[in-house]
Amino acid sequence: MSKLKVGVIISSTRATRFGEIPAKWILEKANERAEIEAEIVDLRDFDLPFFDEAASNAWMPSQSANAVKWQNKISEFDAYIFVTAEYNRAITGALKNALDQAYVNWNKKAFGAVGYGTVGGARAIENLRTIGIELQMASTRSAVHIAGADFMAVHPAFGGTKSLNEIEASIGNSAKDMLDQLIWWGNAAKAAREEEAISVAAE
Ligand SMILES: Cc1cc2nc3c(=O)[nH]c(=O)nc-3n(C[C@H](O)[C@H](O)[C@H](O)COP(=O)(O)O)c2cc1C
């Protein structure tokens, strides 16, 4: 089977965000896997408006050119890793809006997550998993949680000076488990989508 194409999506867009540090770390880990070809997808590059369509693209094409560009980018991938901040115990508004701006492009695909915050972004990741159900996505069981003292130690705004490689004793195993599961679910969903496309074409 060809490599699983994985989009590593950074959930925050603010100028002083921490998000790209864990994004680059998990990108490297993902690309160490022979089964994966991963790239970073940065919401900053898409300048998405707040959702203002008559309906989601499950029902009609979107009018916003930037939304269509975003949907086309999402369609390139078989699976996703959301690198998610926790804003007031949920995912960021920017990520929620980006999730809402596509529908069919997420369907029947797998995702994993890297969360960070006081409790490792656990509440944001659970929020993401609930949203994923509606988007017809399959979540991995495992996720990476950069939490507590580790979070402080790697976050420059809190005086942290460590790299993520230096806290791998805490987060390395969960990254391995998340990627193992992403490969399994990602390939299973990819095979099923390909089989479905063949039977639809034969009808
Ligand atoms: C609006 C806002 C809400 C936040 N809410 C939470 C929260 O609920 N839980 C948490 O652990 N951290 C929270 N934080 C702290 C973030 O974990 C921290 O600022 C982190 O760096 C945000 O990710 P970012 O730098 O990629 O934007 C919040 C930060 C902001 C700006």
Q: What local confidence, expressed as pLDDT, does residue 203 receive?
A: 85
Pocket lining for ligand 1, CB < 6 angstroms: 12, 14, 17-19, 85-89, 117-118
Q: What local confidence, expressed as pLDDT, does residue 165 receive?
A: 97
Which amino acid appears at position 46 of this protein?
A: F
| Separation of alpha carbons 151 and 124, rounded Å | 15
| Separation of alpha carbons 61 and 55, rounded Å | 8
| Separation of alpha carbons 107 and 136, rounded Å | 5
What is each CA distance from 63 to 48, 69, 91, 98, in whole angstroms?
12, 11, 25, 15
Question: Dihedral angle at the C-alpha atoms of 123, 71, 142, 197, nearest 10 degrees?
Answer: 140
Q: What are phi and psi of 21, to 5 degrees?
A: -65, -55
Task: For the chain, 203 residues long, give each residue's pLDDT as a single digit of tens.
Answer: 799 999 999 999 999 999 999 999 999 999 999 999 999 999 999 999 999 999 999 999 999 999 999 999 999 999 999 999 999 999 999 999 999 999 999 999 999 999 999 999 999 999 999 999 999 999 999 999 999 999 999 999 999 999 999 999 999 999 999 999 999 999 999 999 999 999 899 98
Q: How far is the CA of 120 from the centre of ligand 1 (A)?
A: 11
CB 189 within 8 A of CB 109: yes
Number of domains into which the chain is organized: 1
Q: Which domain holds residue 32?
A: 4-202
By alpha-carbon position, which residue is closest to atom 2 of ligand 1?
87
By alpha-carbon position, which residue is closest to atom 4 of ligand 1?
87
Query: Ligand 1 pocket check: which of 44, 86, 92 to mutate, most ligand atoms within 8 Å of Cβ?
Result: 86
Query: Ligand 1 pocket check: which of 87, 116, 145, 155 to mutate, most ligand atoms within 8 Å of Cβ?
Result: 87
CB 140 within 8 A of CB 111: yes
**CATH number of the domain that 11 lies in?**
3.40.50.360
